[in-house]
């Protein structure tokens, strides 16, 4: 008889100011567990079985709080207020100019020097039922925080169900007009964290176009067709098949893949598949769905051997990938990209759903 779902509280560590960092482990009763920590509302570990039932942690993370503080790498983190890059940290909103911190060369990345990944969220709710277990975390970013206007109240609800689905439901409200773009920056290795390269894992992204970037990884504003380029993942192919094509300037700009694929020009009203990854060796597969218009795919280009993960192994370049459903990078500076504006009375939402399953040796899914 299968075990029921469970949600277990614990303490992951203590911040320098004495605040405890809460943790909640969600268990779906069928071999999938997810551990969420309050620092950065982050997914610290996720265990899932392979085709033979052997469980492994398939996300990159640290074993101790101190490592998250000493060498932050966005492992599993909630990123915001504005995920991805804003050119030179500048944008205009309702006729007024704003400056946010630059922390990625000339640009602002993932909210600035103290983005949502580096703050302590509050665990506000933990639930379990017959078919799912969940935890909700909350963070209130004051007006002017990192230069952004408006008090932003954000929540992140992680839910793990008996079908092997982990969802992250991001929501936010504001008391004055602002911009917001929240996403999750989990690094995945379907063979198991610390097991080595992900270059042979097969990726599908159902996108006809992508956004080329300049030398500082800011979109040029063009929408470029993926047909005939290294950015064509409409049919599954190994992540590393084309990654070392030295003649492709875009790969040189990003030191590999670090680009936004255009799932659609506007957000969808319903969830749809935005990526699928399978590991031929373990048989694990991941299907990602979202209603967001963009998907940032990052091939772990800057993992450089300075981080030792939960299993005691060093993470090196290409040892994981990130898939982040979101608005397009630098949207506030590109009217053609749509709008990142959130007004009082509106609720921002980004629901991200990860479905875990396995492929049998013959190729069919379980």
The CB density around residue 102, as the number of other CB atoms within 10 Å, is 18
Residue 162, token pair as written in the block: 């008996």
**Which backbone phi and psi does 14 adopt, to 5 degrees?**
-125, 130
Decide if 245 is inside a domain. Answer: yes
In a domain, 169, yes or no: yes
**157, 14, 9, 18: which is closest to 78 by C-alpha?**
157
Least confidently predicted of 20-24, 251-255, 275-279, 344-348: 251-255
Q: What pLDDT sits at residue 120?
A: 98
Beta bridge partners of 85: 109
The number of folded domains in the chain is 1
The half-sphere exposure of 207 on its side-chain side, counting CA atoms within 13 A, is 33
Residue 363 lies in a domain: no
SS3 category, 65: helix
Average pLDDT over residues 262-279: 97
55-to-50, 190, 236, 283 alpha-carbon distances in Å:
6, 11, 25, 12
Mark out the alpha helices in the chain (DSSP H runs).
Answer: 65-70, 249-254
Kindly report the CATH number assigned to the domain that includes residue 45. 2.70.98.10
Instruction: Confirm whether 234 is domain-assigned.
Output: yes
Domain-embedded: residue 365: no
pLDDT in tens, 291-315: 999 999 999 999 999 999 999 999 9
Model pLDDT, residue 286: 98
CA 43 to CA 75: how far, in whole Å? 8
> Could you tell me how far CA 220 lies from the centroid of its own chain?
23
Please indicate, yes or no, if residue 102 is contained in any of the structural domains. Answer: yes
Tally of helices (H runs) and strands (E runs) in the chain: 2, 30
Q: Is the pLDDT reported for residue 2 higher than 60?
A: no
pLDDT at position 126 over 80 = yes
pLDDT at 90 over 60: yes
Write out the residue range of the structural domain in which residue 103 sits: 6-358
Dump pLDDT digits (tens) for 107-117.
999 999 999 99
Average pLDDT of the residues in 230-254:
95
Look at residue 60 and tell me if it is in a domain. Answer: yes
DSSP letter, residue 82: B
Sole residue written with tokens 């875990």: 356
Q: Answer whether residue 157 shows pLDDT above 60.
A: yes
- Whether pLDDT at 1 is above 50: no
pLDDT of residue 360: 81
- The answer to whether position 134 is within a domain reads yes
- Any idea which residues carry the catalytic annotation? 185, 324
Could you tell me what percent of the chain has a pLDDT over 70?
98
End-to-end CA distance of the chain: 19
Judged by average pLDDT, the poorest of 91-105, 215-229, 244-258 is: 244-258
pLDDT(258) > 80:
yes
- Inform me whether the pLDDT recorded for 196 exceeds 90: yes
Specify whether the CB–CB gap between 192 and 55 falls below 8 A: no
Residue 356: strand pairing partners:
286
Phi, psi of 90 (to 5 degrees): -120, 145
């Amino acid at each position: 008889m299968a075990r029921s779902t469970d949600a277990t509280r614990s303490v992951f560590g203590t911040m320098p100011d004495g605040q405890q960092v809460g943790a909640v482990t969600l268990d779906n009763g069928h071999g999938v567990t997810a551990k969420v920590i309050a620092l950065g509302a982050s997914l610290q570990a996720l265990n899932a079985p392979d085709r033979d039932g052997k469980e492994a942690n398939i996300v990159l993370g640290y074993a101790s709080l101190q490592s998250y503080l000493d060498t932050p790498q966005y492992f599993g983190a909630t990123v915001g207020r504005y995920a991805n890059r804003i050119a030179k940290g500048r944008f205009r909103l309702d006729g007024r100019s704003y400056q946010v911190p630059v922390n990625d060369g000339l640009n602002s990345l993932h909210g600035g020097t103290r983005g949502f990944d580096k703050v302590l969220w509050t665990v506000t709710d933990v639930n379990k039922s017959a078919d799912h277990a969940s935890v909700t975390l909350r963070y209130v970013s004051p007006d002017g925080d990192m230069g952004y206007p408006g008090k932003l109240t954000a929540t992140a609800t992680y839910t793990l169900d008996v079908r092997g689905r982990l969802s992250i439901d991001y929501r936010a409200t504001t008391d004055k007009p602002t911009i917001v773009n929240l996403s999750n920056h989990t690094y995945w290795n379907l063979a198991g964290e610390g097991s080595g390269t992900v270059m042979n894992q097969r990726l599908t992204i159902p996108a006809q176009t992508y956004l080329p970037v300049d030398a500082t990884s800011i979109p040029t504003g063009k929408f470029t067709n993926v047909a005939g380029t290294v950015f064509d993942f409409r049919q599954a192919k190994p992540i590393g098949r084309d990654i070392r094509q030295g003649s492709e300037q875009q790969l040189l700009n990003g030191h590999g893949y670090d680009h936004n694929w255009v799932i659609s020009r506007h957000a969808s009203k319903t969830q749809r598949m935005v990526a699928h990854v399978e590991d031929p060796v373990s048989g694990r597969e991941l299907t990602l769905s979202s209603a967001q218009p963009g998907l940032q795919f990052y091939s772990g280009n800057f993992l450089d051997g300075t981080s030792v993960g939960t299993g005691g192994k060093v993470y090196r370049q290409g040892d994981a990938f990130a898939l982040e459903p979101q608005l397009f990078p630098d949207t506030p500076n590109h009217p053609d990209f749509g709008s990142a504006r959130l007004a009082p009375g509106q609720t921002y939402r980004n629901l991200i759903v990860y479905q875990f399953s396995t492929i049998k040796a013959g190729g069919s899914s379980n």
